[in-house]
Structure formats: structure tokens, C-alpha cells
Amino acid sequence: MSDQALDWIVNALRENRTQNDQQLVWCTDENALNGLPNLQHANLQVITNRWDIAEQAKNRQLQVQFSDFNFRHQGDCTLDGFFYRVSKEKPLVHHLLNQAWRCLKTGGELWVSGFKNDGTKTYIEKIAKLLGCEKSIKKNGQVYSAQLIKHAPFDAQQQLDANDYDLVRPIVPESGLNLVSKPGLFGWNKIDAGSALLIQQLDSVFANRPAPQTCLDLGCGYGYLTVAAAKQTVTAGITNWILTDNNAAALQIAAENLRINQINGEVIGADAGSGIHAKADLLLCNPPFHQGFSVDGDLTDKFLANASRLLAPNGIAVFVVNQFIPLERKAAPLFRQVKTLIDNGSFKVISLSQ
């Protein structure tokens, strides 16, 4: 499936390829559904918060920074071009538009694109005003795009509200859990209702099974499933907690939540667990079903295939999904036992074992 807003950015990058002395940055995130497009660029820096895109960029010898869009080391007025297909989360969009304004040279260009329902027109209007440039928005179907030139110097007082994008802060104190988080990762300031339902099933999962020693949290986000599971008596014997995600902010914050909760574990960047070789007695997963703006069924398949590969012979995987995801059907060829533990009309928790 192609994303026309992203295609517009990629075409703009291709058109800018010939001016070799220019410093260009392309920020790309969850919207790159089909992975990294084929680009040859000597002086382009790809900045991505996705581990799989960063790996693809490295393999193609592109300059790449895998980070939570951390611009601390990028000087003011140093860039000639900034390319960006708007993200799903407003704080991240504002953060990146602010960084474009700060880091572009006077006369440098911001190329920005996105769908109507991403709020793109409003984003373009706001940043055009701050850059001191004419807004000339191109509309092609549902896609809004603009090439904006920086005239006005950056002013921190006027920048767009990015909800302190870089600030790591305590969240949900009422949960009784010690958790920190930040914008830029899935449901960053709340506990997912499906994940909470999964945790409530853990006691019954281990009623007739030996206690687990190794736990893998697949698509860990800020680490809720691990931190909450570590509080349960059934997990008292776990000596090795492994957490993995594709998202840079998730990896950073999950590691921080392990540290502040004194949980012995490691956090590994991976695409749906690919490349990990642990064998888990317990595997916890609330898989993503939205990637960027589109529903991606293949991703669920990838999570299930890796769960099956990473489970110890007597291990058990516990998944939670939205009620309409046919996880049982997708899991059936991969696992001997597929059992729905609870279905509350919104979410279902399913155990999988061999």
C-alpha cells in the first residue's frame, strides 16, 4: 500500500539529489509502511525513530540517526533542507516543525506533506507564519503539501507547543506503579485497557503450570506489561526480563522503567522480535494493529511468527488484542493450543502454547 503524502516527500528528495553541497535532513517514522524507499543521497541524513528503517538505511550506506528525533546536536541555522511527512501525534509534529525552524538556514526549505485528516493544512499554516513565508499549499486529492522557505529567525518563545517533547516524567501515579514516560511513544501517558486486562489474567495462566524464569515483552512500549507483571507473585521466579520494541522512545523509556523499578532485564531494539534468540517461558504481547494511519494485518502475523519462534517448548504466550482482530485464526497454524482466556467485548486475552 502506498502513502501519497510520503511519496510526495520522497519525490522531493529525489529532485534535490543533484545539489551535493547541501545539508538535508529527512525525518521519517511509523508512516513508512513499505520500509525505506530507494534513495541514493550523499549528503542526506535520515533521522528515524524506527529500528527497522534505521537498519535498512545502514544497509544502504545512507547516513542515519536512530533516535527519538533528538536534535540536541544539530546546530541552529545549519540545514538547507528539511523533509517531513507529518506524524500521527501532535506533540511530535510540533517538535519537528520547531526543529526545522531552528535548524534551517535563512533561505533553507521545509518540505512538508500529509493527509487532510492528519491536520496537515493547519500545521502548514502555523509553521509558514513562524517561518515568515508565504504559504502556498498544494492540494492533491486528500494530500496537502508545501515547500516553505525560512525567512524569520527562530524564536523559542513563539515555537509551537510540543508538550515538552523531550521531557521524561512520571505517569499514572494512581496505578500504584512507578512509571515514567514521554510523548513520542504509544499511549504514552496512560495504561492501555487491553494491557491491564492481560495482567489481570496472569494468575489464572499459571494456576497449573511451573513458574516462569524468563519473560519476553514483545512490543514493550514504555514497559507497562513488564513492570506490572513483575509485581505479581506468579512471576517471583523470573530472573531474566527481556523487553523489545521498534520505537526509539519506547526503548529509552522501557530501560528507564526497568532501572527505577530495579528489575533485572535488558531492552533490545528489533522489528517484531526478529533477530532475538531468547527462549521465553512467558511471552507478553499487546501487538500494534495500527501502524501510522493504516491498519496493518501483516504486522500481527509477524508478531505471532516470532512469538512462536521465541517461546520455550513449555512456554506460554499471552496476547491481548482488540476484539475484532482474528488472532485465534492467525495463531492456529503456529501453536498447538490457542485459548481465549477472557473476552470483555472490547478486548480479548488469548494464551498460546505448544
Ligand X SMILES: C[S@@+](CC[C@H](N)C(=O)[O-])C[C@H]1O[C@@H](n2cnc3c(N)ncnc32)[C@H](O)[C@@H]1O
**Interface residues with ligand X (CB under 6 A)?**
185-186, 192, 195, 219-221, 224-225, 245-247, 250, 271-272, 286, 288, 299
The DSSP code for 116 is G
Query: 10 Å Cβ neighbour count for 301?
Result: 15
Encoded amino acid at 170, one letter: P
Helix residue spans in 213-247 (DSSP H) = 224-229
Nearer to ligand X, 98 or 247 (CB): 247
Query: Using CA atoms, how far apart are residues 224 and 201, in angstroms rounded to an integer?
Result: 15
**Beta carbon of residue 240, minimum distance to ligand X (angstroms, whole number):** 18
**Beta carbon of residue 214, minimum distance to ligand X (angstroms, whole number):** 17
Q: Among candidates 95, 150, 86, which has minimal Cα distance to 116? A: 86
Query: Using CA atoms, how far apart are residues 40 and 110, in angstroms rounded to an integer?
Result: 20
Q: Among candidates 143, 294, 150, 303, which has minimal Cα distance to 217? A: 303
Nearer to ligand X, 245 or 281 (CB): 245
The gap from C-alpha 329 to its chain's centroid, in whole angstroms, comes to 26
30 grid coordinates:
511509523
Nearer to ligand X, 145 or 257 (CB): 257
**Beta carbon of residue 19, minimum distance to ligand X (angstroms, whole number):** 34
**Beta carbon of residue 289, minimum distance to ligand X (angstroms, whole number):** 8
**Beta carbon of residue 154, minimum distance to ligand X (angstroms, whole number):** 30
User: How many residues does this entry show for the chain?
Assistant: 354
Nearer to ligand X, 55 or 271 (CB): 271
**Beta carbon of residue 121, minimum distance to ligand X (angstroms, whole number):** 28
**Beta carbon of residue 346, minimum distance to ligand X (angstroms, whole number):** 14
Nearer to ligand X, 11 or 201 (CB): 201
340 grid coordinates:
481465549
Nearer to ligand X, 12 or 227 (CB): 227
Query: The sheet that has 280-285: what strands, in order across it?
Result: 265-269, 240-245, 214-218, 280-285, 311-322, 347-353, 337-343
Nearer to ligand X, 160 or 276 (CB): 276
Query: 10 Å Cβ neighbour count for 339?
Result: 14
Q: Are strands 138-140 and 337-343 parallel, antiparallel or unpaired?
A: unpaired
